[in-house]
């Protein structure tokens, strides 16, 4: 009887915890944001430096990250490689970084070329982070996109993911564009512009499922066909 009572009390205490929901898992396939406008069809930014944005994580749970991405304007590959980084704004330190290679080797998902991190990174809830990429003026990027106030997450050019950012009217100030010179790296980009905005050159995500390029699918099909023919010959 005492054991049942103790378990009941522990369960009740966990429910009453102010951050009890913080143990929820990020949904596979999630990204920080999705543009609601055509980035390739709009004005392009030829800035050379570090470009991205700052955001406040949700108070709901700890967001997870294991992919970093760089925008591919036409989806036909990048002319140069680009370093994408994530900073903890409280410490000003880089906590994750990946180099998106030139060409079309990196998987293309929703307009971004992605690289998987060696391990999953768990962000703190209710904390500021800065996401940015090193740009070169060759691989052009869509210019800054933003939403209108009041915004619950998708009132304009961006759909923010509520698993990553604190949404709701009154929190628009917690998201803004950031940029700086390359010489400032590995420091985070410090020049801040806009509200409820971001330069959409870099993105982050969790457990993305890459879609093979058409050439890869063709190669796989040919290999599978050759294997089946070989197996039939052996069986005969």
Taking only the tens place, the pLDDT of each residue in 142-201 is 899 999 999 999 999 999 999 999 999 999 999 999 999 999 999 999 999 999 999 999
CA distances from 56 to 33, 88, 196, 217, 232 (A): 13, 11, 11, 39, 59
In the chain, the number of structural domains is: 1
| Nearest in space to 159 (alpha carbons), one of 146, 173, 149 | 146
- The answer to whether residue 199 sits within a structural domain is yes
Q: Which residues contact 38 (CB under 8 A, 6 or more apart)?
A: none
Residue 26 CB neighbour total at 10 angstroms = 21
Over 70: is that where the pLDDT of 101 sits? yes
Give the whole-angstrom CA distance, residue 125 versus residue 163. Answer: 10
- The answer to whether residue 1 sits within a structural domain is no
- The answer to whether residue 4 sits within a structural domain is no
- The answer to whether residue 79 sits within a structural domain is yes
For 144, the domain range is 22-230
- The answer to whether residue 187 sits within a structural domain is yes
Confirm whether pTM is higher than 0.75.
yes
- The answer to whether residue 7 sits within a structural domain is no
- The answer to whether residue 223 sits within a structural domain is yes
- The answer to whether residue 17 sits within a structural domain is no
Strands 30-31 and 202-206: antiparallel
Q: Is 47 exposed, middle or buried (0-12, 13-18, 19+ CB in 10 A)?
A: middle
């Amino acid at each position: 009887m005492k054991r049942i009572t103790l378990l009941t009390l522990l369960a009740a205490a966990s429910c009453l915890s102010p951050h009890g929901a913080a143990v929820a898992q990020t949904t596979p396939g999630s990204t920080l944001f999705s543009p609601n406008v055509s980035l390739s069809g709009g004005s392009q930014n030829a800035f050379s430096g570090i470009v991205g944005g700052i955001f406040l994580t949700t108070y709901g749970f700890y967001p997870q990250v294991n992919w970093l991405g760089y925008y591919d304007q036409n989806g036909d590959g990048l002319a140069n490689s680009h370093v994408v980084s994530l900073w903890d704004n409280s410490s000003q330190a880089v906590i994750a970084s990946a180099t998106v290679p030139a060409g079309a080797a990196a998987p293309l998902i929703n307009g971004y070329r992605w690289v998987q991190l060696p391990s999953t990174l768990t962000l703190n809830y209710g904390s500021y982070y800065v996401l940015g990429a090193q740009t070169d003026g060759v691989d052009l990027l869509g210019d800054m996109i933003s939403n209108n106030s009041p915004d619950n997450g998708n009132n304009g050019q961006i759909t923010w993911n509520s698993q990553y950012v604190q949404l709701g009217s009154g929190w628009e100030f917690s998201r803004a564009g950031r940029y700086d010179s390359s010489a400032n790296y590995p420091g985070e980009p410090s020049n801040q512009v806009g509200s409820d905005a971001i330069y959409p050159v870099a993105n982050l995500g969790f457990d993305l499922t890459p879609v093979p390029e058409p050439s890869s699918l063709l190669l796989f099909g040919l290999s599978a066909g050759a294997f089946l023919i070989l197996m039939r010959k052996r069986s005969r």
